[in-house]
Amino acid sequence: MLFLGLSILLSVLLLLNFRIFPRYEVNTFQAIVFNYPVCFMTGLLLLPAGQSFAIDFSQTWTWLAFGLGVGFILTFLLSGASTQRMGITATSLANNLSLVIPVCFSLFVFQTGGKTFDLLNYLGLILAVVAVGLSTYKKEPPTVEADSSAKPTSRRLGANVLLPVAVFLFYGATNTMINYMNIRYIPSADKTIQVTLTMVLGAIVAGLLMLVVRIIQGKEKIQVKSLIGAVTLGVPNFLSFYTLLLALSAFGSNGAFVYPLYNIGVILVAAMMAALFFKEQLSTANKIGLALAILAIGLISWQELTALI
């Protein structure tokens, strides 16, 4: 349980970083780009004794891992924007409930998963989608004067609501691709760090290319604060994933048990941190969405949870 608890806290720490970056005028884009070299160095330090990192371009999974790295940085950028504009709770819900997508692919496309879904499991999948919609709902703030100036505000709000939805879809897509790689291409469990480092390397290449283009266009100028933010972001970013892998190993690779507890933990801790430190107010719809999220995850994995009682 120690590794699982650490993974939950580290994952929430990522969201807290995004939330406080504007307060300290940290360039979120630059912090995300530079966080991946920090992730890479953190991973190198965690390599088992006697192992070294090497890339084999003749392997299909190498190119898939590179592609996933590009997906990671795009998802991270969306997560940062969503956290700052829609709040920690909505973003963490969209992130964690994205497990619906890889679960559906495992059941209906890859036809894996180790269990047969029943009516309650399917009900949980439906409730999860409903929970995402409710958790991202924000009432339009009242305006003093009912004039045409209210229309742009409404349009901006509508665009912002799409950010958690995009986080939901992108996280689901990347997790689905990871499952596909595990099924088809990952050679053995001892290659986990190697594959992870390859993914991070893909994110580094994509991020630096994006940064160079923006610098040439005159849209970016390297800031020292962003480099500091990259460290506070990169270390927990890698460690959250690494401790989750350790938690899976501790529970005999029982992902059907670990992932629901992980997702429930992140949702609850993120909501608590948002309320305590940032005074984020939850509407009635948001609270219903939070309750449905917990219920949905419980229904999806009720067989594994009841087996422990």
Per-residue pLDDT tens digits of the chain, which is 309 residues long = 788 899 999 999 988 998 899 889 899 889 989 999 999 999 898 887 777 888 888 888 888 888 988 898 888 889 888 888 888 778 877 877 787 787 777 777 776 555 567 888 789 878 877 887 787 666 645 544 444 444 444 445 567 788 888 999 998 898 788 777 766 766 555 566 777 788 889 999 999 998 999 899 998 889 999 999 999 999 999 898 778 877 876 776 556 667 777 877 887 788 888 888 888 777 888 889 888 888 988 887 787 677 766
* Measured distance CA(53)–CA(33) in Å, rounded: 21
Q: Contact, 59 vs 262, CB < 8 A?
A: no
Q: Contact, 72 vs 197, CB < 8 A?
A: no
Q: Please state, as a whole number, how many other Cβ atoms lie within 10 Å of the Cβ of residue 309.
A: 4
pLDDT at 149: 45
Return contacts of 221-226, CB within 8 angstroms, 24+ apart.
222/30, 223/26, 223/27, 223/30, 225/24, 225/25, 225/26, 225/27, 226/26, 226/27, 226/30, 226/31, 226/34
pLDDT at 138: 64
Q: What is the pTM of this model?
A: 0.74
pLDDT at 266: 84
CA distances from 131 to 118, 119, 126, 184 (A): 20, 18, 9, 32
What dihedral do alpha carbons 173, 111, 93, 15 form, nearest 10°?
-50
pLDDT at 49: 77
Which residues does 220 contact at the CB level (< 8 Å), separation at least 6?
Answer: 27, 29, 30, 211, 214
